[in-house]
Structure 1
Amino acid sequence: MHVITDNLSLYRDGLVTTLRICLYSGLLALLLGTIMAACRVSPLTPLRAVGTSWVTVFRNSPLLVVLFFMAFGLPELGINGTYFVFGTIGLALYTSAFVCEAIRSGINAVPPGQAEAARSVGLGFGQTLSLIVLPQAVRSVIPPLGSVMIAMIKNSAIVGAFGVGGDLFSVGENLTSAQGEAALPVLIGVMLGYLIITIPAGLLLGIVERKVAIAR
């Protein structure tokens, strides 16, 4: 296992880059997913069509295809960027479809009487959703959202394999192919790096879930 200890700085830098990918992708996925969930439950047919199409396209497309489209399709349209930017946005787009469905399930779990009462006092759809429905829906969507975020962290390895560079996957690939290190200890180091991210994330989500349950 000297490979891990001798290359701790590389693993550390890879961990930081992976965390950046996950943080940026997670925030963007939550934002897009919430917007699409609002579209899915909107009374306006065009907005519902947009939300449904978004979920259908990204949830049923392989992540690798989405990443290839971002990196090779967008430049043909004149949109250029780094692999880090394309990979992060691609992961966010893919994850947002699952976030959307998790949030929509929480919205549907809120009793209809809540929205009806809000409309009876003159609140519009946007106000009803943001002030009445979503705060209640969030409590029930924390477990599925947590699962989506954990899956996103693991999917970040595909982003790394795609050629972002500097992340945990790229560190492992560099050590095995460029430096000729044994694959098993290198991969163990990569796996430990992802566990350092996913285990605390899971524990944090468990704490939040218990806090929310008490708040109910």
Structure 2
Amino acid sequence: MDALLDNSDLILGALGTTLYITVVSAVGALVVGVLTTVARISPVRILRTAAALYVQYFLNVPLLALLLLAVFALPDAGLLMPLRTTVIVVLVVYEGAYVAEAVRSGVNTVPPGQLEAARALGLRFSQVVRKVLVPQALRAVVQPLGNVLIALLMNTALAATVGVVELTSAANRVNNVAAQPITIYVAVGLMYMVLALGIGLLAGRLEKKVAITR
């Protein structure tokens, strides 16, 4: 316990980094996921194909491989970014595929009659998506999106492998000096657990609040 107290500044700073990466990546992934879903249901075939390929690719490639590729290969191609920014970009495009799958399942819950009524009123595709499909789809998948957010939180730990000092990386550094793995990793694990439970509880409450009664 003394090791944690003596390094509390490092641990708390790393916790802040983990939360920052999680929040920024979550917002970006939500935007990417929604846009991808819109592309998958659009009347333009090339958009549907591109969106489907994007989702399938990122659903079937390990996140660690993408992180290593971005950190070590992209600089050789002339794309230089700070490590934390690189991690956030990778998480956005990776988790965006999972968000897209969740939102697409929400789109499938919208009654076809509502879409037909919207078209009968003369609404364009963009208006149908913006005013009918996306709002109802998001309300229907609050809990699945919460699960994606929890997975995103856990995936931030992989940032330690590329040199970002987040919570797991800080735990490794403290343990290298103090050699108290049980105390340090149990404490850090509890922090992740509390954050995950908090996300789950918030998602559950939000789901009840915005639930659609059909």
TM-score, normalised on structure 2? 0.95
The match for 2:44 is 44
Distance 1:161 1:180 in 2: 20
Distance 1:206 1:49 in 2: 34
Query: Would you say 1:200 and 2:184 are equivalent positions?
Result: no
Deviations 1:159-209 (A, max 9, x none): 2233112x10111111122x1431111111211221232121111111101
Q: How far did residue 43 of structure 1 move?
A: 1.2
Distance 2:196 2:162 in 1: 21
The question of whether the paired residues in 1 share the 8 Å contact of 2:3 and 2:178 is answered with: no
The match for 1:2 is 2
The match for 2:12 is 12
Matches within 5 A, 1:55-94: 55-94=55-94
User: Aligned partner of 1:40: which letter?
Assistant: R
Shift of the 86–78 alpha-carbon distance from structure 1 to 2, 3 Å rule, reads same
Distance 1:175 1:186 in 2: 8
Unmatched runs of 5 consecutive residues or more in structure 2: none
The question of whether the paired residues in 1 share the 8 Å contact of 2:140 and 2:212 is answered with: no
The match for 1:104 is 104
Distance 1:194 1:81 in 2: 27
User: Aligned partner of 1:181: which letter?
Assistant: A
Matches within 5 A, 1:105-184: 105-165=105-165, 167-177=166-176, 179-184=177-182
User: Aligned partner of 1:85: which letter?
Assistant: T
The question of whether the paired residues in 1 share the 8 Å contact of 2:37 and 2:103 is answered with: yes
Give every structure 1 segment of 4 or more consecutive aligned residues whose post-TM-superposition deviation is greater than 4 Å: none
Q: How far did residue 13 of structure 1 move?
A: 1.0
Q: How far did residue 215 of structure 1 move?
A: 7.1
Q: How far did residue 76 of structure 1 move?
A: 1.8
User: Aligned partner of 1:126: which letter?
Assistant: S
Distance 2:9 2:110 in 1: 48
Deviations 1:32-86 (A, max 9, x none): 0110011111111011011101101111000001111211222122110111111
Distance 1:140 1:163 in 2: 38
Unmatched runs of 5 consecutive residues or more in structure 1: none
State the number of aligned residues.
214
**Same amino acid, percent of matched pairs:** 38
